[in-house]
Structure 1
């Protein structure tokens, strides 16, 4: 836990090695002792660190350095942390911002999250917690957004807009056909019994027969398979059920 006593022990200047492996962290903090602490914490985790002592300098460094993440104090000269947070997100919404402040009121945390902050750490803080939260925010931003579009053969299915094309030509699918196809694509190469499909796609409160499943898959084959009589993608596994092979 970093406390005021720890800051008193940070009297000696030191230089952070200029080379880092993981990218640049921008620290915006007006307390010189806290600057040294934060520089050391992130340098030890193999980040390059650039430090600004006021909001205006922080804004200039944000534009020039394109940091991997920002650690931001709230109470700053020239431009406040709150204003900076909103400005940063307007400039680069994908850059994670972790607020580090002695202000602990819930209303302030909610406000910062509404302004775009990705996380909030209260002083005094644990270095391990701070680095973990910054790294988690970076990972969240790097995580690819799952595409709503699924492609196989010459078919392109957009489950979000509920549109389908085959060979570039629109194909009309019912809402229930989209739901069934989505379950197949989510479980590709898995044998799915008719009972499982009834429960998961039609729901426990519906009472269709297994023949309903067969008819629905027949319709999907007619719309999406090159040769519906000899399906290549929506396969029948005799004695077990069906399997989608993209």
Structure 2
């Protein structure tokens, strides 16, 4: 699944393309938006692993975009990028829930390194608890899945998809969101790709498969 999906919100095309290219080289899927409101919608819709967020954006600045995410209870990591050499902006961004910042001009390699460092801190902070739904148990640390204690062999993609669904337990996940989270790409395959892999999971997990279809929307694992 690569390193996951990063949403870049940047209104300067040359900088956005530079960020996209270097992040893609590092194994990330990348979705780019050039306006604040469109960026906010993309983060809510695609559930990326991180947002690279310019402070000075048309229609909704980066500080307000981050504030709205945090008010919604969305703590997706945010790396602020700003052309403003102003300590107030940097401090305000961190105070409202930003995770790190870069001041333009910056090295794209440093940007990638900071993205990885923010994600590494977040992963280390998350306890690798087993995810359980009925008799199905998924262990993120060992990447093993069992049903009633009996091991079930899954492909890497099947495991990723099941983990995403279990972590979102109780919430309906649309196909585009599942593609973004489990495959790390916005445009990887089609909705049919998700349907095929869900069918494979159901076949392997049998009658105990916890995945429910929500017609016309996507899939969920009920609480």
TM-score w.r.t. the length of structure 1 is 0.49
Match of 2:43 among 29, 50, 62: 62
Secondary structure at 2:30 match in 1: strand
Secondary structure at 1:143 match in 2: helix
Query: Contact 2:83–2:103 at 8 Å: present in 1 too?
Result: yes
Match for residue 88 of structure 2? 107
Match for residue 178 of structure 1? none
Match for residue 144 of structure 1? 125
Secondary structure at 2:125 match in 1: coil
Match for residue 29 of structure 1? 10
Match for residue 218 of structure 1? none
Q: Give deviations 1:162-200, integer Å, cap 9, x for gaps.
A: xxxxxxxxxxxxxxxxxxxxxxxxxxxxxxxxxxxxxxx
Match of 2:32 among 48, 51, 72: 51
Match for residue 98 of structure 1? 79
Gap regions ≥5 residues in structure 1? 1-19, 147-246
Q: State the shift of 1:92 in Å.
A: 4.5
Secondary structure at 2:11 match in 1: coil
Gap regions ≥5 residues in structure 2? 128-223
Match of 2:65 among 67, 80, 84: 84
Query: Contact 2:7–2:30 at 8 Å: present in 1 too?
Result: yes
Match for residue 75 of structure 1? 56
Match for residue 130 of structure 1? 111
The whole-number CA distance in structure 2 between the counterparts of 1:90 and 1:30 is 24
Q: Give deviations 1:74-112, integer Å, cap 9, x for gaps.
A: 111111111001112233543110001111211211111
Query: Contact 1:95–1:141 at 8 Å: present in 2 too?
Result: no
Q: CA RMSD in A?
A: 1.8
The whole-number CA distance in structure 1 between the counterparts of 2:33 and 2:73 is 18
Q: State the shift of 1:34 in Å.
A: 1.2
Match of 2:100 among 88, 113, 119: 119
Q: Which has the higher contact order (CA 8 A, sep 6+)?
A: 2
The whole-number CA distance in structure 2 between the counterparts of 1:45 and 1:23 is 10
Bigger Rg, which one: 1
The whole-number CA distance in structure 1 between the counterparts of 2:75 and 2:60 is 21
Match for residue 151 of structure 1? none
Query: Contact 2:69–2:75 at 8 Å: present in 1 too?
Result: no
